[in-house]
Amino acid sequence: MSDQTHDQQGESRTFPPDPDFAASANGTADLFDAAEADHEGFWAEQARTYLTWSTPFTQNLDWSNPPFATWFADGELNACVNAVDRHVEAGRGDKVAIHFVGEPEGDSRDITYAELHEQVQRAANALADLGIGKGDTVAIYLPMIPEAAVAMLACARLGAPHSVVFGGFSADALHSRIEDAKAKVVITADGGYRRGKPSALKPAVDAALDHDETSVTDVLVVRRTGEDTAWNDRDTWWHEALERAAPTHEAQPVEAEHPLFILYTSGTTGKPKGIFHSTGGYLTQAAYTNAIVHDVHRDTDVYWCTADIGWVTGHSYIVYGPMTNGVTQVMYEGTPDTPDQGRWWQIVQDHRVTILYTAPTAVRTFMKWGAEIPARYDLSSLRLLGSVGEPINPEAWLWYRRTIGGDRTPVVDTWWQTETGAIMISPLPGVTTLEPGSAQRPIPGISAEILDDEGKPFTTPEQVGYLVLTKPWPSMLRGIWGDPERYKETYWSRFGPEYYFAGDGAKYDADGNIWLLGRVDDVMNVSGHRLSTAEIESALVSHPKVAEAAVVGASDETTGQAVCAFVILRQEAVAEADEPGEGEALVQELRNHVAKQIGPIAKPRQILVVAELPKTRSGKIMRRLLKDVAEGREVGDVTTLADSSVMDLIKKGMDAPASD
């Protein structure tokens, strides 16, 4: 049986909350009791605590027409007013909202809430001048610059749902998203900085709009790099439009259920799903979770979420959650190794960052680069670390706490999805005894269960099942844009209409902690035994020579599926493995290591040592492509890869003789 709580020294550690931390933590144990006693009343109280309503609501949840929920439906509010105006009105206009750090060294600026206030008003007026009003959709295709937040908030100010498309997506992907949402205006930039160089964005917009028919009438272009760019009649410079626009703008209150944004995410079919979110319910849970899980304290913290604004994490935990809470945050434009591998730690040191929220893939990359890099910086300001996006293996969790958190900070592993809008399962840093590698419990107000194949809930430890959410929550998706049937079918049919099917495998441990085990399509069945790719990856990464691992289940005539692993070695092990005969020996050692950690059944049939893994630009490993290689198929669509040459290298390695 696996024992994921043991790190490579075979040490099992849990971390009770530090009493000093607990004494001032926002997330307290009594929240669990309050939510348990009155689920809807609890959420209504959060909605009143965290938000300012122009028309107070009297209705809570309406679940009379599942799976279509409404929350606080007769209330009215404006998301931009909540995120910006009210902080200025309360006298905190001089507080820094964003410490912007551009990728080129020295290119940084601070933006106060008062400055943000002026910009969102001007931008709202500029959009209104282009005919944008309540209910019109606006596509945003920008690098990680403050204008991205300004653009989103300006849309919210007008009641115009935004659809942010990640700047790494191609023109084709942008085109289909623009047309699906029928966006009238696109907000983009000439380019941004990546890996030390300007990288153009506007040409992709031009190509996306180069079709006979388009819903887009105007394009606003932020000048970021200053490089030459082709110009069309529909284009206007953002700075000129804002200069011309009036500096004050009255925000438009909208009903709580008015869609705040659409965000496309990939599903099992080729067509991306336009997940859309409400205003009141979404904002309530984004702000509440940012307070109780990230434990932000407005007057003392400097918060940094490293996500890109193009993903839901950037929406909920750069823009809507933290700004509604009025915090000061860092926004960084570029990559972690520009100009060198210490860049993030330099930023933490310079801005005395107190809370850092990032993805496990980043943590494992830093592990690969070595602990001596962060050790050169003063990271003593950090008091909380967070993780999101994929399971964080205990080894990476412990490294993160020890090396980045100075053996001092809590690490919160937060499980949620684009669809859930905000954090759902996570420790509360002032309450929970932390179990490295586990997201642990649903937060107060959230209910989850694990179901078996027949849809029966169970709590048996170590038995793998499907994670479901059993009660509506305020920030739940309100649907798939323009496709209510697909919404029902994808999320509310697998186990019947009362269970939201998350698509993730999960299990309990003996202490009742929930372990997320990756997408269910990543759960393998080897000789009738269920194995999680995440579990085997965790075992591999717990080996001292392994930096990163990706596991796929490849079809196998005898066993149904077989485990195929792709591993990146730590720097010190690379040279060693190149010695004659050593590569084979190492592969054998790793296979035995997995067998020892989990059981002989989990022993990978094949382990391929690779230099890189295929990752999307947001850092997710594309297991689908690895599966193609492992199953000897032509490799599928590689257009969303950050570096498409990676697959060629891996295929070459695969063609070389395999281990036994």
Alpha helices (H) in 209-294, listed in sequence order: 238-244, 280-292
The residue among 71, 481, 112, 517 whose CA lies nearest residue 288 is: 71
The Cα–Cα gap between 399 and 221 comes to 42
Closest contact distance (angstroms) between CB of 89 and ligand WTA is: 32
Residues 425-454 that bind ligand WTA (CB under 6 A): 439
Residues 233, 217 contacting (CB under 8 angstroms): no
- The yes or no reply on residue 414 touching ligand WTA (CB under 6 A) is yes
Written as one string, the DSSP assignment of 195-232 is TTEEEE-HHHHHHHT-SS--S--EEEEE-SS-------
The Cα–Cα gap between 392 and 413 comes to 7
- The yes or no reply on residue 308 touching ligand WTA (CB under 6 A) is no
Query: Residue 195 annotated as binding?
Result: yes
Query: Residue 313 annotated as binding?
Result: yes
Helices (H) and strands (E) in the chain, counts: 22, 30
Q: Take residue 346 and report the two structure tokens written for it.
A: 């330099």
* Residue in 503, 553, 604, 619 binding ligand WTA, rule: CB under 6 A: 503
Query: Residue 224 annotated as binding?
Result: no
Query: Residue 197 annotated as binding?
Result: yes
Residues 221-280 that bind ligand WTA (CB under 6 A): 265
Closest contact distance (angstroms) between CB of 128 and ligand WTA is: 32
300: Cα within 13 Å, side-chain hemisphere? 8
- Closer residue to ligand WTA (CB): 229 or 361: 361
Closest contact distance (angstroms) between CB of 428 and ligand WTA is: 15
Closest contact distance (angstroms) between CB of 577 and ligand WTA is: 30
Query: Residue 559 annotated as binding?
Result: no
Nearest-10 crossing angle of helices 623-630, 646-655: 30
- The yes or no reply on residue 164 touching ligand WTA (CB under 6 A) is no
Closest contact distance (angstroms) between CB of 166 and ligand WTA is: 11
* Residue in 190, 218, 255, 504 binding ligand WTA, rule: CB under 6 A: 504
- The yes or no reply on residue 137 touching ligand WTA (CB under 6 A) is no
Query: Residue 660 annotated as binding?
Result: no
* Residue in 169, 415, 499, 500 binding ligand WTA, rule: CB under 6 A: 415
Q: In what order do the strands lie in the sheet with 479-480?
A: 235-237, 218-222, 185-189, 138-141, 162-164, 261-265, 273-277, 479-480
Torsion of CA 307, 311, 316, 317, to 10 degrees: 0
- The yes or no reply on residue 465 touching ligand WTA (CB under 6 A) is no
Query: Residue 418 annotated as binding?
Result: yes
The Cα–Cα gap between 164 and 156 comes to 13
- Closer residue to ligand WTA (CB): 305 or 630: 305
- The yes or no reply on residue 418 touching ligand WTA (CB under 6 A) is yes
- Closer residue to ligand WTA (CB): 100 or 303: 303
* Residue in 92, 223, 519, 651 binding ligand WTA, rule: CB under 6 A: 519
* Residue in 57, 72, 261, 416 binding ligand WTA, rule: CB under 6 A: 416
The residue among 212, 129, 209, 210 whose CA lies nearest residue 165 is: 209
Q: Which span (134-142, 212-220, 413-421, 477-485) binds ligand WTA, by CB under 6 A?
A: 413-421
Closest contact distance (angstroms) between CB of 502 and ligand WTA is: 6
According to DSSP, the residues that pair with 461 across neighbouring strands are 508
Report phi then psi at 323, rounded to 5.
Answer: -75, -35
Query: Residue 328 annotated as binding?
Result: no
∠ Cα 659 590 585 (to 5°): 55
Per-residue binding letters, 363-402, with ligand WTA (x by CB under 6 A) = -------------------------xxxx-----------
Among all chains, which residue has been given the structure tokens 């020996």? Answer: 585
- Closer residue to ligand WTA (CB): 413 or 449: 413
Size of the site for ligand WTA (CB under 6 A): 20
Q: Which span (55-63, 213-221, 290-298, 498-506) binds ligand WTA, by CB under 6 A?
A: 498-506
Q: Which amino acid is at 468?
A: V
- The yes or no reply on residue 290 touching ligand WTA (CB under 6 A) is no
Written as one string, the DSSP assignment of 442-461 is BPTT--EEEE-TTS-B---B
Q: Which span (148-156, 192-200, 294-302, 307-315) binds ligand WTA, by CB under 6 A?
A: 307-315
The Cα–Cα gap between 85 and 104 comes to 31
The residue among 110, 115, 91, 85 whose CA lies nearest residue 100 is: 110
- The yes or no reply on residue 312 touching ligand WTA (CB under 6 A) is yes
223: Cα within 13 Å, side-chain hemisphere? 13
User: What residues are designated binding site for ATP?
Assistant: 389-391, 413-418, 504, 519, 530
User: What residues are designated binding site for Mg(2+)?
Assistant: 541, 543, 546
User: What residues are designated binding site?
Assistant: 194-197, 313, 389-391, 413-418, 504, 519, 527, 530, 541, 543, 546
Residues of this chain that interact with ligand WTA (CB under 6 A) are: 265, 311-313, 388-391, 413-418, 439, 502-504, 516, 519
